[in-house]
């Protein structure tokens, strides 16, 4: 921090644990009134997390000066002799995360359902703005391989499933063949988050809702931004008037706009056509099922990973059913 010329030189540094897991740990750092956040892999994280951390840093750094709500880029360190792993410092966001609410929105969003549409529209707006970033001008020309993106999605994850396969999944053949036959012939490459949902954003305190930052860039790349849209909406209710719609997940969606309105808002802000949304919804469900299947196969006695089992089956079946019912012809 001193070498980077950050404030507070000579003052004691205080660290407060915020969150973490097997891939990353996050601490709030305070030094003489200067506050930031460190994101660093734990000691036992895979070796490639060091390069992954720097990849995340590049994205955050590239977002500076754009309209995308994000944490400020403070500094990065690739020298593992400093703390044992590569790490970066980002600005502290004085806001709240839906993942910290234990299924209950903070006020006024909990008791006043009329305030909730703002949360949803802000969520959609985040990736719409992200898709508009000039990634080449921001120095991310080598971040991903946009050419052949959809060819690799289907082929890569099919090979991945074949490696981990330990049981048959109903619908996987139907969904896979449909995706192979309906790959977009043309698309506009853009910066994408890769795991976009309420869990990976933060909001400013109070109302009306205002997105404070997109966070957790582990899956960030240059590809087809509409996959972020499909990922965000794959379990979003088509009709919010149906009894029970929007309930049952980690975020209570009651009072929020239905899927069509979310898609319309994304399209208006991003400028992208969304006529082929079914493809992205099917791809998202199919891909999620395969990713979670790996966790389920490694579950052992872990109840969280064990719970992935029925989720995998449901997601793959839904992907196949949507593929069989869609009128989208590519």
Task: Give residue-wise pLDDT tens across range 189-239.
Answer: 999 999 999 999 999 999 999 999 999 999 999 999 999 999 999 999 999
pLDDT of residue 246: 84
Structure tokens at 319: 């992907």
Domains, the chain, in order of start with CATH, read 14-92 (3.30.200.20), 96-325 (3.90.1200.10)
Q: Are 323 and 174 in contact (CB under 8 A)?
A: yes
Q: Are 291 and 161 in contact (CB under 8 A)?
A: no
CA distance 97 to 89: 19
Which residues, 6+ apart, have CB-to-CB distance to 313 below 8 Å? 169, 170, 289
CA distance 70 to 63: 7
Q: Are 213 and 230 in contact (CB under 8 A)?
A: no
Work out the number of other CB atoms within 10 angstroms of the CB of residue 71.
22
Q: What is the mean pLDDT of residues 256-267?
A: 97
Structure tokens at 12: 């004691």
- Give phi and psi for 224, each to the nearest 5: -105, 105
Give per-residue burial for 112-148: e unless 16+ CB within 10 Å, then b. eeebbbbbbbbbbbbbbbbbbbebeebebeebbebee
For residue 48, the 8-state DSSP code is T
pLDDT of residue 103: 76
CA distance 234 to 196: 11
pLDDT of residue 101: 77
Q: What is the pTM of this model?
A: 0.93
Task: Give residue-wise pLDDT tens across range 141-189.
Answer: 999 899 889 989 999 999 999 999 999 999 999 999 999 999 998 899 9
């Amino acid at each position: 921090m001193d070498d980077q010329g950050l404030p507070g030189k000579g003052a004691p540094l205080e660290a407060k644990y915020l969150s973490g897991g097997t891939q990353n740990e996050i601490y709030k750092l305070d030094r003489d009134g200067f506050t930031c956040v460190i994101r660093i892999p734990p000691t036992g994280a895979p070796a490639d997390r060091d390069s992954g951390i720097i990849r995340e840093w590049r994205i955050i750094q590239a977002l500076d000066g754009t309209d995308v709500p994000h944490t400020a880029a403070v500094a990065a360190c690739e020298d593992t002799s400093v703390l044992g792993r590569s790490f970066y410092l980002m600005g502290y966001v004085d806001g709240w995360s839906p993942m910290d609410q234990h299924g209950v929105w903070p006020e006024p969003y909990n008791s006043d359902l009329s305030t909730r549409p703002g949360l949803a529209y802000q969520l959609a707006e985040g990736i719409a703005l992200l898709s508009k970033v000039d990634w080449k001008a921001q120095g991310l020309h080598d971040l991903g391989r946009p050419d052949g993106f959809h060819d690799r999605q289907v082929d890569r994850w099919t090979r991945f499933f074949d490696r981990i396969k330990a049981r048959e999944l109903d619908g996987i053949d139907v969904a896979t063949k449909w995706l192979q036959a309906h790959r977009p012939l043309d698309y506009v490459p853009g910066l994408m988050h890769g795991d976009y949902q309420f869990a990976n954003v933060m909001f400013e305190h109070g109302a009306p809702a205002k997105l404070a930052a997109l966070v957790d860039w582990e899956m960030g790349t240059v590809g087809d931004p509409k996959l972020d849209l499909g990922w965000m909406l794959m379990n979003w209710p088509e009709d919010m008037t149906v009894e029970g719609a929007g309930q049952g997940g980690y975020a209570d969606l009651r009072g929020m706009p239905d899927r069509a309105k979310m898609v319309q808002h994304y399209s208006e802000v991003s400028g992208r056509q969304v006529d082929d949304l079914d493809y992205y919804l099917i791809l998202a469900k199919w891909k999620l099922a395969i990713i979670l299947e790996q966790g389920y196969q490694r579950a052992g006695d872990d109840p969280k990973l064990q719970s992935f089992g029925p989720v995998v089956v449901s997601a793959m079946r839904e992907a196949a059913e949507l593929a069989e019912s869609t009128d989208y012809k590519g």
